[in-house]
Structures are given as structure tokens and as C-alpha cells.
Structure 1
């Protein structure tokens, strides 16, 4: 079978190779010496300071500004710690990434060189509530630190679903709408997240606000095909598995279909390690509304051209709570 995309020529120079992102695992550890270059990105509350502190005072400034708390997660990307901003008591998260694990760098609007994850976060940190905001970052001799907003009472969507078994359609609809709007915001900012899954969505338990987090697998959005994979394998689309290429937008829709299935069914639609065949039949619970089943099946269309766009998803009858005839 021809391994090239059916509707465009694969450009094998469109993107440098990106390492696979590993999932978070519990663990411990502490950030190293807090000294080095620093920068800030303006954003909403907890509000960021748009001034860039002098490089020599980065260590002193960080220790004066934040009190480090418990470990939130650890994996191939590094570690994330809860912390408190001392000036106003606002909760934040501090993500520590060893410099040796930073594979790609980009450029901020002011010309500063920064890890690509920070460049992408700066693009989407425009005050949109559905995407985690980057408040500040520090470049240290051995590590890069990112200071991110953190809701006071929050839970990732994976744990949120597990605690309930599955989500009623009305709850899933509201959360899924927020995720779609967050993805649309990223797309409008020229950013492709590439690792949409329940673990990368935070739910504010006080407000019900969903936030897309962890842009460590992200890249610039492009119209040509990607020929290198970054993200979680079990969320990769069949065109990548079978042919070794994918387009950003339809690959995102595929992962959103898996996400919605996990919300309303409580489990991943495909067995771990299963090689999805072109004639596979997706089995959905009878208890699901026809509208919800239709939306999941459309997102999980084997042909990427058959998948809906983000706008079409937002206008789907299930998203509007309209029943199909």
C-alpha cells in the first residue's frame, strides 16, 4: 500500500525529530541549585510579572518568591512540584526539566532563546482560562524551571473519571466543550499540543473549569504532514501506526475521540498494544445516547479526511444537547 498521505506530499524536513514523551510516575526529588537566567511571561492570575529579573539574582529571587511544597508528578520530562507564591499566597506549580532532556529550543518574541515548551506556553498564555498559564521561567546551569498557575483544589481528569467510574453525558459534555475550546485556542495560536489525554487535563474542583496542561510534546502547528511522533502511543492515530505520517488537526481529533470515550465509558476504546485494523468495528455501550455514539465514531474514523474539524465538533448535536431524529 502506498505509504504517502492521500491528499498531500509528505515533507520529511518539516520538523526535527522529537523524543517520545513518557508518562508521569510518582517519585521524589528536589530542584537543584536555583541560579541562572530568568524570564517572565505576562499572564492572568496568578498574575505574572512582565519584568525580567537580573540573571544573577535568579536564585535569590525564586527562593524569596516561592515556598516549595509536595511533588505532584515525575517522569521522563522531569518533575513538577506544588509551590506557593509568598507575595499573595497563590498556589503555583514549578516544573523542573533537566537541560540535557531539552531537545528543541525556540525563540521568544523578545529574541530570547528558550526551550520549545516555554516558547509554546508563551504563545498560548494569553489569559485564556482553558490553558495553563506560564507565569515565569528560569534557565539554570543544569535545569530549566517553569512556574505555572495551579488551581487550589484540582484533580487531573484521569483521577476525576476513575473516582466516578465514568461521567454522565451532561458532565462529560461540559468538560469536553472546554477541552475543545482550549484546543481551538492553541490552534489559533499556532500551537499543536500532541498529547491530549485525561492526565493532561486539570479539573478545578471548585469551579468545574478544565485546563489543558503539559506542552512538553507540543510543536508548531503546520499544514504539511508530520513524520516524527511525539506524545502517548495509545493515543496516536492509525495513519501514524500504519504509514508513519499524520496531519496535526485530524490526529488531534482522533485523540479527542479517545478522550470522550474514556469520559463516558470509563476506559480506553482500544486494548493496550492493539493494532487497529481498517475494518474495525467500535463497540459502544447501549446506554449512550445516539448523539454521543455518533460523535465518538466520527472522531475515531479510520480515514483522517473523514474526521470532523474542531468547529464541526463544537456544532455537533450532542454538543448542543440536540437529539438526532
Structure 2
């Protein structure tokens, strides 16, 4: 067993699978030193297409470089705690609120969000996006499944920078993200600009937060004292 793998097993206890996709899988875990909940993302090395450089000169997957740029001390982005290189995988360890739920499941459980809650959550998402932009980072996959809610405090956190890249003034000619959130200029012309495309995806997000789903019944709304 390699030193990194041994350190991972000695420092964390793996829990349940939280989600998986084309870029890897995310697991709930507990940090043994202080019993703090964390999330551990495992990305196969052969799926890491882009690398960058951390401030100390270390080469790292671009997702880690971007997360390092935007997460430190800002509550609206999930905090990067550490990362490890294994022979076949990259391990990313991030904060995990003790009681949390992604926005997709949060909306689905309520069928839509009342104006008060939708407005506050959307404000937080906008602040997170503006923060990323100010750091020169483009997330490129804004959607309910990539927004984590701390149910105890009501804090929204932007997660999953696996599709992210550096913000640039010129047009992008490669799309990364969820196709149903892609801007019309990409579908029609094969290019898009970062910030207008972000505004497009934010509009879809706001609609999903506030539109009433078609099934019958009442429309519950939570009070803004956490997200019970």
C-alpha cells in the first residue's frame, strides 16, 4: 500500500456514496482526528484532462487549482481541505456540512420554492458566481445539483468545479457542462462567451427554483431560519 493510500485510510473513515458522474464519485466520510464530516471525491487519473499549477509551484488537476483559487475563506464555495495523488486516482477532500442537501433534491422535495427562499438562495448563488469571476474562474456547470445547502444555516455553497476553466475575454469553442444548460449561441454557432453563458444558466436555475411542478397538492415553503 502506498503512503498516500495509507494516510487516507488512517485519517478518514469512508461512509456512503453521495453521487457519481463522468468525472468521478463523491463519498461521505468522517475525519478521524476531530469527527468532522467531509466529502471525498475520487477522480480516475486517466480522466483528468487538464492540469495547472498551484501557488507553490505544484502541478495539480485544474479542478483543484480552480477550487484553491476560489474556496479559501469564502462561505459560498465548498472549501478545499486537502488533496492526494494515488497511483490511479486523484483524491479531493472537501468540507461537508453535517446536515446538507443539494438544491436539486431540496426543490424536488418541495416542488418549488416560495419567493422568499428562492430570492435568498439565488442571491447567494449570484454572490458565489461573482466571487469566482473576480478570481478569474468560470464554473461552467451551474445547476441545482451543483449547489449544496447547509440545512442548519441556510448557506448555499457552489460545488463541483470539474467542468471549470479560467475566465477569458475571448470566445470559448469547447463546451463543458450540462448540455441542457448550454446557451443558444453554442448550439447555433459553436462558440460562447463565459459571462453571458453564465447568465443564461442562472436564468434556467432561477426558473427551476421558482416554477411550480405539475403534480397536485399543496405548495409548502420553509421559513428562513435554516432550511428545515
1: distance between equivalents of 2:87 and 2:5? 11
Say whether residues 1:262 and 2:208 are aligned partners.
yes
The residue number in structure 1 matching 2:68 is 122
Say whether residues 1:253 and 2:199 are aligned partners.
yes
The residue number in structure 2 matching 1:4 is none
SS in 1 for 2:17: strand
SS in 2 for 1:63: helix
Q: 1:225 aligns with which of 154, 167, 171?
A: 171
The structure-2 alpha-carbon separation of the partners of 1:266 and 1:212, relative to structure 1 and needing over 3 Å to count, comes to farther
Say whether residues 1:147 and 2:147 are aligned partners.
no
5+ residue gaps, structure 2, are: 214-228
Say whether residues 1:200 and 2:146 are aligned partners.
yes
Task: Tell me which stretches of 4 or more aligned residues in structure 1 moved more than 3 Å.
Answer: none
The residue number in structure 1 matching 2:53 is 107
Q: How many residue pairs end up in the alignment?
A: 213
Q: 1:134 aligns with which of 80, 90, 111?
A: 80
SS in 1 for 2:163: coil
1: distance between equivalents of 2:212 and 2:197? 22
Write 1 or 2 for the structure with the bigger share of strand: 2
5+ residue gaps, structure 1, are: 1-32, 36-56, 268-325
Write 1 or 2 for the structure with the bigger share of helix: 2
Deviation at 1:96, TM superposition (A): 0.2
Say whether residues 1:69 and 2:15 are aligned partners.
yes
TM (normalized to structure 2)? 0.91
Preserved contact between residue 103 and residue 147 of structure 2 (Cα < 8 Å): yes
2: distance between equivalents of 1:192 and 1:73? 22
The residue number in structure 2 matching 1:305 is none
1: distance between equivalents of 2:193 and 2:212? 28
SS in 2 for 1:258: helix
